[in-house]
Amino acid sequence: MQKYVKRIVKQARAASFLLSCVSDEVKDLALFKMADYLLNNKEYIFKENKKDLVRAARDKLKKSFIDRLELNERRLQEMSESLREVARLSSPVGKVISQWQSRANFSIQKVRVPIGVILMIYEARPNVTSDSIGLLFKSSNVAILRGGAAAMNSNKAIVKVLKQAVKDSGISFDPFFLIDKGDHKVVDLLLSEDECIDLVIPRGGEALIKKVVKKSRIPVIKHYKGVCHIFVDKYLDMDKAVKICVNAKVQRPAVCNAVETILVHKDVANDFLPKLKKELDKYGVEVRADHASRKILKGVKKAVEKDWGMEYLDLIVSLKIVENLDEAITHINRYGSKHTDGIITTNSDNSHAFVKEVDSACCFVNISTRFSDGHQFGLGAEIGISTDKLHARGPMGLEELTTYKYVAYGDGQIRE
């Protein structure tokens, strides 16, 4: 296994120098071809995905897990369109961030450059494979992809199709690599390869993130769990508030930007909570509520302390009545995961206070948390949503996949 890992990381390091020399025009041509090849080979990809779905059902994996694993016409179309959008974006690589003259009268430029070799470790979401390849390739980073074993057939199929597209675009080397060994030891070996791998980006459950952070000798950007909140203020459009909260929970509950806790101002709780519960019931959402909310919503399950920090990834939501905006902000900063939190209000002072004081990567006003997404932000796709503060935060697009170097131009200057 160690020889296998060494071979992959050395090939990736060598490819990173080659990829930095490929023009934007050639990369964009390859990205458009990748998008076409995904759709042209959909029957093959669906056939391989079906193998993973059958095994997941046989192993009695969670419904939410199987939902993330499944590929269908709509999702494959979205994967293809994401590659096209990435191709249309301007590349940040080579852009001059700033420039100035030094005291010795030579020119200094701060220039964006690729990070190099990036290891992606993720679970059963095959769309992450194509999204990661697209963004990393466009930003001249070489990808090493280690997807979950449950999606191995799907990932192999996607990578095979996309590699053929790259080859048919005239690129003679592999700019991305899939780890096709299911042995968990391979992850530990990869995380020790700090000479060849520049950055690790794990995407998945809390246990996966903690394991990677604990064992890695390579810098890690954490895409931690999404304990997302919405605070319903007393100044509101009631119908819009209900619509936003329901969408944030049920549109796709098994993803990290689905709302998990809804906080409601005490002055509107009597009117708002029954209307919200009526709509949530249509989708079979289980409600877990604090004592004050349960006085209004008879018969709902009691929320316990661990519910406030829980990422359900399911049709479950916790409800809590708060005294005011300050209590809502305090609750979010205590129990949230710094992912995405929103306020529903018609009061501009309250919205300004919320976005200033909530310590999260994304702070939303009067929109669903489900918009916390690189594609929705216009980034083409996302490598993930970072809950770290250095060097990237929130949905990570092309710019977040670069670092910088200083370039100086002189005319014989020497230091006295």
Query: Do both 190 and 273 map to the same domain?
Result: no
Residue 224's pLDDT is 82
Number of domains in the chain: 2
Q: Sheet containing 286-289: give its strands across.
A: 301-302, 286-289, 316-322, 259-265, 228-232, 340-344, 362-365
Six-digit token pair at 241? Answer: 């508030």
Query: Do both 63 and 134 map to the same domain?
Result: yes
Query: Do both 118 and 202 map to the same domain?
Result: yes
End-to-end CA distance of the chain: 54
SS3 state at 187 = helix
The pTM for the full model equals 0.91
Residue 198's pLDDT is 98
**pLDDT interval class at 254 (50, 70, 90):** confident
**pLDDT interval class at 217 (50, 70, 90):** very high
Query: Do both 185 and 308 map to the same domain?
Result: no
Query: Do both 10 and 72 map to the same domain?
Result: yes
What is the extent of the structural domain holding 70?
A: 2-221+396-409
Average pLDDT over residues 393-406: 96
Six-digit token pair at 301? Answer: 């399950």
Residue 1 has pLDDT above 90, yes or no: no
Q: Domain for residue 339, yes or no? A: yes
Residue 28 has pLDDT above 90, yes or no: yes
Average pLDDT over residues 263-287: 98
**pLDDT interval class at 120 (50, 70, 90):** very high
Q: Sheet containing 117-122: give its strands across.
A: 176-178, 142-146, 117-122, 199-203
Residue 63's pLDDT is 84
Specify the residue for token string 């020119």. 107
| pLDDT (tens digit per residue) in 221-236 | 998 889 999 999 999 9
Average pLDDT over residues 12-34: 98
Average the pLDDT over each of 4-8, 217-221, 259-263, 383-387 and give the range with the smallest value. 383-387
Specify the residue for token string 């049709």. 315
Six-digit token pair at 414? Answer: 């020497």
Query: Do both 206 and 253 map to the same domain?
Result: no
| Averaged pLDDT of the chain | 96
According to DSSP H, which parts of 70-113 are helical?
A: 73-88
Residue 204's pLDDT is 84
For residue 66, give the CATH number of its domain. Answer: 3.40.605.10
Q: Domain for residue 385, yes or no? A: no
- Residues 259 and 369: beta-carbon distance below 8 Å: yes
Q: Domain for residue 381, yes or no? A: no
Counting other chains too, the contacts that 106-109 makes at CB distance below 8 Å and 24 or more residues apart are 106/408, 106/409, 106/410, 106/411, 106/413, 107/408, 107/409, 107/410, 108/406, 108/407, 108/408, 109/406, 109/407, 109/408, 109/409
Residue 406 has pLDDT above 90, yes or no: yes
Residue 112 has pLDDT above 90, yes or no: yes
Residue 326 has pLDDT above 90, yes or no: yes
| pLDDT (tens digit per residue) in 159-170 | 999 999 999 999
Peptide bond into 352 cis (omega under 30): no
Query: Do both 75 and 172 map to the same domain?
Result: yes
Query: Do both 236 and 217 map to the same domain?
Result: no
For residue 313, give the CATH number of its domain. Answer: 3.40.309.10
Tell me the one-letter amino acid at 160.
K
More confident residue, 416 or 76: 76
According to DSSP H, which parts of 41-147 are helical?
A: 42-58, 63-69, 73-88, 126-138
Residue 308's pLDDT is 98
| pLDDT (tens digit per residue) in 131-168 | 999 999 999 999 999 999 999 999 999 999 999 999 99
Cα–Cα distance, 187 to 303 (Å, whole number): 37
Query: Do both 206 and 236 map to the same domain?
Result: no
| pLDDT (tens digit per residue) in 83-108 | 999 999 999 999 999 999 999 999 99
Bridge pairing between strands 340-344 and 316-322: unpaired
Residue 206's pLDDT is 84
| pLDDT (tens digit per residue) in 349-392 | 999 999 999 999 999 999 999 999 999 999 988 898 999 988 89
Residue 68's pLDDT is 87
CA dihedral 378, 382, 385, 386 (to 10 degrees): -110
Cα–Cα distance, 250 to 240 (Å, whole number): 15
Query: Do both 239 and 269 map to the same domain?
Result: yes
Query: Do both 331 and 401 map to the same domain?
Result: no
Query: Do both 43 and 142 map to the same domain?
Result: yes
Q: Domain for residue 384, yes or no? A: no
